[in-house]
Amino acid sequence: MGSIFKEYKIFFIVFGVISVVIVSLIYNTLNVYQPLPIYQPASVSAELVDSTLQYQKKYHKIGDFALLNQNGKTITQNDYKNKIYVADFFFTTCQTICPIMTDHMVKIQKEIINDDEVMLLSHSVTPEIDTVAQLKRYAQKKGVNDKKWNLVTGDKKEIYTLARKSYLAVKDAEYGGPYDMVHTENFMLIDKKRQIRGYYDGTNEEEIDRLLKDISILKEEK
C-alpha cells in the first residue's frame, strides 16, 4: 500500500491542488457581486404605468415633489438627496393590506435606524382624508421615527403623478375622479440617483428580508 502511495504521490498532490483551486473558483463565482437591476417603465407591468411612459426603456428617475409630512413640514426630493430609500403608497383608514405593510415598514425602520444612508417615504393615496393631523396620529400609533420616515400628504394630482409616472406603483381606479388610485402592496427601493432598483411585496415577510439584503447590495455601489 505504501509503495502505491509513493508511486502516485505527485499525482495526489497535483490532484489535491487542482481540487482546491476549482472549489475556490466556484465559491468566488457564486459570491461575486451582482448589481441590482434598474427598472424602467417598459420593464414594469403596464397597468402600473401611465400610458405616456409605457414604452420608455431608459433614463427613468423619480420626479421632483413637494408634500407635507406628519409634522406639517414640506418634504421635497432634497430631503432624500444622496439617500437610498424605500417608498410605498397607503392610506391610514385602510383595513386590509396597509396595516401589514406599515408593520413591515416598522421592521425596516428598526433595521436601518442607525444607518444615515437609508430612509423611508410613505405617500397617502387619500390626501383628502389623511391630513397632517391624521398622519401625526397614525405616526405616533405606529412608532414612526420622524428622522427616518416621512408619511406625506398633499395635492392629489401630484401624488397620482408620482405614483403613476415616477414610482410606477399603483393602478388607475376604474371608477371615481381622474386622479383616483388603487394602491398596491408594492414597496419600491430607490437609489441615490433616484432610480428604481427593486419592487417588493410589502405584505410578505420574506420579501422584506430580500429588500433588506438588496439595500446592503445597493450600498456597495460606488
How is 127-161 classified by DSSP, letter by letter? TTT--HHHHHHHHHHHT--TTTEEEEB--HHHHHH
Other C-beta atoms within 10 Å of 173: how many? Answer: 15
pLDDT at 69: 98
pLDDT at 11 over 70: no
Contact 170, 44 (CB under 8 A): no
Q: Regarding predicted confidence, which is higher, 52 or 7?
A: 52
pLDDT at 8: 52
Locate cell 381622474: which residue?
178
60-95, pLDDT tens digit by residue?
A: 999 999 999 999 999 999 999 999 999 999 999 999
Pull the grid cell for residue 199: 419592487
For residues 183-207, one letter each, b for 16 or more C-beta atoms within 10 angstroms of the residue's C-beta and e for the rest, the string is: bbbbbbbbbeebbbbbbbbbbeeeb
Contact 14, 20 (CB under 8 A): no
Please state the rounded mean pLDDT for residues 25-40: 70
Give the H/E segment covering residue 120. strand 118-124
110-160, pLDDT tens digit by residue?
A: 999 999 999 999 999 999 999 999 999 999 999 999 999 999 999 999 999
Residues 6+ apart with CB under 8 A from 172: 47, 164, 180, 181, 182
pLDDT at 25: 47
Q: Percent of the chain scored above 90 by pLDDT? A: 76
Residue 98 known to bind ligand = yes
The dihedral of CA 198, 65, 138, 141: what is its sign? positive
Please state the rounded mean pLDDT for residues 18-46: 71
Name the residue among 170, 172, 171 with its Cα closest to residue 87: 170
pLDDT at 182: 82
Residue 28's pLDDT band, with cuts at 50, 70 and 90, is very low
Residue 183 known to bind ligand = yes
155-196, pLDDT tens digit by residue?
A: 999 999 999 999 999 888 765 677 787 889 999 999 999 999
H helix intervals, the chain: 2-7, 9-30, 98-112, 132-142, 156-161, 205-219
Range from 6-20, 22-36, 81-95 that averages highest in pLDDT? 81-95
